[in-house]
Amino acid sequence: MKRTKIIATIGPATASREKIKQLIESGMNVARINFSHGDHKSNGRLIDYVKELRQKLAVSVGIMADLQGPRIRTILVKDIKIKKGELIKISDISHKTREANCIILDWPGIIKDIEIGNNILIEDGLLKISVTEKNANYLVAKAETDGVVRNNKGINIPESRLKMESLTQKDEEDLKFILNKDVDFIALSFVSSAKDIINAREKIKKILGGASGLPHIIAKIERKKAIKNIMEIIKAADAIMVARGDLGIELDESRVVIYQKEIIAQCLRAAKPVIVATQMLNSMIENPRPTRAEVSDVSNAVIDHTDCVMLSGETADGKYPIQSVKVMKDIIGKTEKSPFDILAHGFLGDRRSSISSAVAHSAHELLKDTNSEAIVAASVSGFTARMISRHRPEKTIYVVTNNEKTHNQLSLLWGVESFILPDCQTLDELIDKSIEILKRNKLVKTGDKIVVVAGRPHIIKEHMSLVKIEEVK
């Protein structure tokens, strides 16, 4: 079993039951539905397909709904050809300007928040213009590059202080639909601070009318502000995504890999799952094989100890979606067998100030010292699994849970394979039935030693108090 998980984006190239089944069988652990594309009908159908298939195949596959967020785009009467040094007029949709040579931004009132000296990056940073003049209804900017500005292209303004809510009106409508479909994860785009996550969680609770069975919130790190507030964001979020596409536009590209490593390290210490995303096998959108640089990129993310690596266009609208997952799985497997995948001693810097962290540390040490075959843990909320997983043990972590939502949310977590187990009345019953499940699935055999982690009573959330060695009878 590979321990680093794979997230695959479902799109036109994989929007059928058969293709999604092939993705699951090839190694997909989480299906991402991108709400920047499609509509409620088409995206709802994809969610239903994943649910049907994970039930039929009896596997844990998480479903991630990725909200579009406050993305700014161009509105043009026609394409505008620009030359370096040329001056261009910019307005926004709240004004009536519709000149053929004027770039309109689709966010009402946004030019109020853009200042002289701000750089405006167009179409993933391919074009760059710099604001030189500000008026009531429009801006004037100087072209820093040659190129053609086209309609409906994305805009980034890294230095500006935009007053934009992290959830747009479209996101709120999508959120209502997504919650009705009962997905496992919701990814928030363009998060700037912990407040964005807290507000989103409150909206989710309000829509659901309570706090039970909530989807986990994944904070996408793609803004300069998010880097500045990264520790508070990690604390507030359930998981983190290093969204390197927009992050590489907002920041110096040469720093992105450094931030990736730093964020992964901080997430490990906080016991929060972390995802590395964007352009991992990008050339496989058109080609059946990745470049050597892409192979190195995936390997290095695994060596950095990320929980997940993500495929976007490769599986959404690429020519080789199934092959992309197979290639990624192969790279992960070979890297995990190497000595470079081992977490350095003391990396977590954990003083084990809590009982839970001490128990997780003890489980990891016992696994090594007793040459046990696996760690078996009971977890209601997934907390126990996260605390153990962050140690990156050399053997698989088998988690039993009585919660269907937790079962599927554990699909995001490094090294974890989960099973549904109904409530047990005693700890002995819990251990016996857990071993029975593992034996039935041929994951352990008679005579194997396993490390058992549970609570007393085991049904209490976030309560780890017991670790012991058990021999499989």
8-state DSSP, 13: G
The residue behind tokens 């293709």 is 19
Contacts (Cβ under 8 Å, ≥6 apart) of 473: 435, 446
Give the residue among 415, 362, 365 at the shortest CA–CA distance from 386. 415
d(CA 401, CA 137): 58
d(CA 183, CA 200): 15
Please pick, among 73, 170, 433, 449, the residue that the annotation labels catalytic: 73
Please pick, among 220, 225, 244, 390, the residue that the annotation labels catalytic: 220
By the 10 Å C-beta count (0-12 exposed, 13-18 middle, 19+ buried), 103 is classed as buried
Q: Six-digit token pair at 301? A: 């993310």
Per-position DSSP letters for 145-167, written without gaps between them: S-EEE-TT-EEE-TT------SS
Please pick, among 3, 32, 201, 392, the residue that the annotation labels catalytic: 32
Cross-strand bridge partners of residue 30: 7, 62
Per-position DSSP letters for 348-365, written without gaps between them: T-----SHHHHHHHHHHH
Q: Is 278 a catalytic residue?
A: yes
Contacts (Cβ under 8 Å, ≥6 apart) of 60: 29, 54, 407, 408, 410, 411, 417, 418
Q: Are 116 and 133 in contact (CB under 8 A)?
A: yes
Q: Is 73 a catalytic residue?
A: yes
d(CA 330, CA 360): 29
Write down the H helix ranges in 251-382.
Answer: 253-270, 292-303, 313-316, 321-336, 355-369
Please pick, among 168, 278, 384, 396, the residue that the annotation labels catalytic: 278
Q: Six-digit token pair at 448? A: 């194997």
d(CA 234, CA 271): 10
d(CA 233, CA 163): 19
Catalytic positions, please?
32, 73, 220, 278
